[in-house]
Chains A and B, each alone.
Chain A
Amino acid sequence: MIENVDLTLVNWSRAQFALTAMYHWLFVPLTLGLSFILAIMETIYVRTGNEEWKRLTRFWMTLFGINFAIGIATGIILEFEFGTNWSNYSWFVGDIFGAPLAVEGILAFFLESTFVAVMFFGWNKVSKKFHLTSTWLVAIGASLSALWILVANAWMQNPVGMIFNPETARNEMVSFWAVLFNPVAVDKFLHTISSGFLLGSMFVLGISSWFLLRKREELMARRSILIAGVFGLLSSLMVAYTGDASARTISKMQPVKFASMEALFEGKSNAGLVAVGILKDTDKKIGERVVKEFVFKIEIPGLLSVLTGGDKDAYVQGITDHVLGNEKRGIMSVPEKMQKGQFAKDVLMDYKRARMINDKEQLESIKGIFRDKEFHDKYFRYFGYSSIDKPEDVIPNVPVSFYSFHLMVILGFFFIMIFATALYFLFKGSLSDNRWFLWIPLLSIPLPYIASELGWILTEMGRQPWIIQDLMPVSAAVSQINSGSVITTFILFAVLFTALLISEISIMVKQVKTGPGH
């Protein structure tokens, strides 16, 4: 495919995409969560006619608006970077990946952008019910936007519903439903939107706690805490549930990623679940990669086997099993996959040679091979391995995967405790008396952001070296431009995004301090 890989170009292209994605993801979850909180608050206003609910809806709406714009601004760059920086990838998967993006634009973005205008400017121009409908449609539109891009991302983790066309040298969709209901997509969507709901709830809870600490707008703060507390508690429980389901799916679809997030180098039965641990290097190596072990860990015996296999004797596959193979367990080694991938690539090259001399018989014959399910399952599914140099290259960065996963999980449980405690004090009527507690949600506002970013780091870094699991390594996907251009645009975007973030935080803080007004 690409004969000479410019690693500087690949790394800067990755850095630019990571920069854009991570900045974008600072704003999107708040849009996802806050939009539903606004819709709930406004529903109460419309049902009760109580102007105080309208006042507090408008206050949170102001903060929503500040965040919404910057989320959109970073989102457009992300969409186009698939083309600007990953053009080989865009062609290789465009037939599948493009469709969810187009549906996202037609179905979700217009819904969001049309009704957000009514939401902001329609208070005195449309009826109460039309306005409320608009607010709900913005919330639904935001979640629908998330659905389609997550479907596309899930396909990168678990490519399904396609066959490879040697004529066009790309994957082509044969089942839209298989792409949409990809098990990874379902888990990812539910986990991601519920984490956005959680983040929005913590944002409202934290800021409302600040008002209570300052003894300002106490009625507004209590009402906001009620909504955010209930919504946040339900969301955080859903995050835990969907996170568990997601991990199980990863263990089946991306076993190397799963073993990395558990830092499990050697597979075993009765595997314990490490709740907390610190890794260190050992003298052992897999190829040139150093094996890690725990310096310290708190482990629940047998639980990992139970969670992944249903009982404590279930065998949990380790990284070594996948790299070197494990015949007893029926796990194929990477060198074997490299051979199969190379075979698939050779068949493709035969096709291209036949095309050059226009050997129609040969062309038809090879097309038939690519349509054959057995060839797909036995050889083509390892196509990407033909571009792998060394077997150990398929191991992602284990400490990054392990720490990001575990920190995210710990934070997830912490959030459940915060929401539950806030509701407990609220219903007991002693929220303002427990000032010590009010500091916790306030100081915790950044934590869901961190947890959410960690989730994406795990998702994307844990999939390395692949851009599409087993089919295409990142190095083969990059646009062939000069690395100087990418370095320049990386710096430009880094400066711009950072400046905008500083401005956004400053505006938010000022708006919060100003309060809802009258």
Chain B
Amino acid sequence: MTTMILHLFLQHYWWIIVSLLGSLLVFLMFVQGGQSMIYSLPKNDLQKTMIVNAMGRKWEFTFTTLVTFGGAFFASFPLFYATSFGGAYWVWIAILFSFTIHAIAYEFRSKPDNVFGQKTFDVFLFLNGSLGPFLIGVAVATFFTGSQFSLNRMNQVQWATAWYGLEALLNIRNLALGFAVLFLARINGLLYIINTIDDEDLIKKSGKKLILNSIPFLLFFLFFVISLLFSKGFAADPETGIVTVEKFKYLHNFIQMPLVLIIFLTGVVGVLYGIGISVLRNSEKGIWFSGAGTVLAVFSLFLVAGFNGTSFYPSSYDLQSSLTIRNASSSLFTLKTMMYVSFIIPFVIAYIWYAWKAINNTKITENEMKSDGHVY
């Protein structure tokens, strides 16, 4: 009994860690948001270079968080890793492809003799900036809308459509979250530019763009959240593990987990406040509120997807193949071992914070980029 309770605790603990990594990833996709505007935001090459360099100094964080998010999922919920990656093949491959071209684009774009020219690498940045957040949003939306797969008695996945994940693009709610994540990444990208780059004209233009991106973000986000609250959800019986469709499941989850609701609302307010103070008061600090708000809002959505007897990766094709944090997790021993490793996370966050501050203490200008020597 004690063993079961400990295992259950660790399954929840690791869902929290994975959720935290997922929410940090969405925040850090401000890098992608910035990339998606390299054609529309700057009015000259210098401004473009400044935007690319502002984002380029942080691309490794986003990338590493994505890799760790995948690694942590593999380690703590390997059945999700095997099922989703091995089934929704094309969605994940498209995400990987977009992140591969992004990693090298920064380092190669301005280097002489790069064979394909700066324009090609800028297209890579734009593609990753637009497709990366959108597709990740679509993939995460399937946590609520379901996918079409079944598992055999050896827990091996069989995808039920020949589209291997691309069918997720036909679901309007998945698309709504995809676009919401994309516009949120663009909002955070703009707020980061306002915070980091010292160029009056660019900051002014970023402020205007902020309003233009906030409107579609709010529309898509509200559509997704409202449809989430009033849709059917996938409930898993804690005793038997049997999965059933339950009306208003996610609304129930918010009501039955008021702390999660508070986190969600605080997050949404944080994002809106970050936008508000930037637009209305020309504040540079919007990114901190919006960034923290993004983390909180996304974190709470992950908790709603996985906690309170909910299937976090439901199968709309074969309900009983749906994944929960209980049936998809690693063993007690592995989760416990990894918990000890996870105690180092605060230390990791501390040194990231320290190094981040050290690099960001000078604003990006033309001279600053030249003096540094490593220009993207």
Contacts and interface: CB of A to CB of B under 8 A. Distances in A.
Interface string A151-162: 000000000000
Given A103-B338, A479-B89, A66 B75 contact: no
B151 to A, nearest CB: 9
26 contacts: A69-B106, A72-B103, A73-B99, A73-B102, A73-B103, A76-B66, A76-B96, A84-B93, A87-B86, A87-B87, A87-B157, A94-B75, A95-B78, A98-B78, A98-B334, A102-B74, A106-B68, A110-B352, A121-B372, A121-B374, A125-B359, A130-B358, A170-B155, A485-B90, A503-B114, A506-B115
A277 interface: no
B100 A77 contact: yes
B64 A482 contact: no
B362 interface: yes
A110 B153 CA distance: 38
A496 interface: yes
B156 A480 contact: yes
Contact of B114 (A88, A107, A496, A506): A506
Contacts of B58: 117
B112 interface: yes
A123 B373 CA distance: 9
Best-surrounded residue of A77, A103, A106, A514 (most CB of chain B within 10 A) = A106
B45 interface: no
Interface string B333-376: 11001100110110010011001101101100000000111100
A35 B84 CA distance: 36
B288 interface: no
A107 B116 CA distance: 36
Interface string B58-93: 101101101110111011101101111111011011
A165 to B, nearest CB: 7
A105 B82 contact: no
Interface in B131-177: 153-159, 162, 164
Contact of A98 (B60, B67, B81): B81
Interface of A: 1-2, 58, 62, 65-66, 68-70, 72-77, 79-80, 82-88, 90-91, 94-99, 101-107, 109-118, 120-126, 130, 134, 165, 168-170, 172-174, 176, 352, 355, 479-482, 485, 489, 492, 496, 499-500, 502-504, 506-507, 509-511, 514
Given A98-B334, A504-B108, A496 B101 contact: yes
Given A91-B79, A106-B345, A114-B351, A120 B374 contact: yes
B78 A91 contact: yes
Nearest to B121: A503
A125 B374 CA distance: 13
B96 A77 contact: yes
Contacts of B159: 480-481
A485 B166 CA distance: 12
A384 to B, nearest CB: 14
B331 interface: yes
B68 A95 contact: no
A96 B93 contact: no
Q: How large is the interface on B (under 10, 10 to 19, 20 to 34, 35 or more residues)?
A: 35 or more
B330 interface: yes
B201 interface: no
Nearest to B78: A94
Contacts of B106: 69
A502 B120 CA distance: 14
B81 A110 contact: no
B374 A65 contact: yes
Contacts of A99: 75, 330, 334, 337-338
B246 interface: no
Contacts of B153: 169, 352, 355
Contacts of A120: 374
